Amino acid sequence: MSLNVKKSFDREKDMWTVELIGEVDIYTPNDLKETLISLLQEKESNIRLNCIELDYIDSTGLGVLIGILKRLKNVDKNIIIANPKSNISKLLKITGLDKIFIME
């Protein structure tokens, strides 16, 4: 499966909303990374990842998110992970990443 990314900026909340649809695996992390970096080049703001339609993420995808989070922390911003499916929530808990991302 592939990855589809929908993005928008909420001026009121000063936040990017990124909807991830499909899978982030060894074949798609560069697409995700390029998208997120382009958003931050436009405006460094919090990023809310809506994961309601994200079916799978592997270690390469998690690595991308950690790299983007490090960049955001330099400007006192965060990544919010919203609506993760149970398999993704479990992965984030097992890896301890649920402690470094804001979970909704």
- pLDDT digit string, tens, across residues 11-28: 999 999 999 999 999 999
**3 state SS of 57:** strand
Query: Residue 46's pLDDT is what?
Result: 98
Tokens linked to 59: 């270690």
Sole residue written with tokens 């970096």: 37
Please check whether the domain covering 3-103 is classified as CATH 3.40.50.2000: no
Instruction: Write down the pLDDT at residue 27.
Output: 93
Please report the pLDDT score of residue 1 as a whole number.
Answer: 66
* Contact criterion met (CB below 8 Å) for 19 and 53: yes
- Could you state, in order of their start, the residue ranges of all structural domains in the chain? 3-103
Could you give the CA distance from residue 7 to residue 11 in angstroms, rounded to a whole number? 13
pLDDT tens digits for range 36-95: 999 999 999 999 999 999 999 999 999 999 999 999 999 999 999 999 999 999 999 999
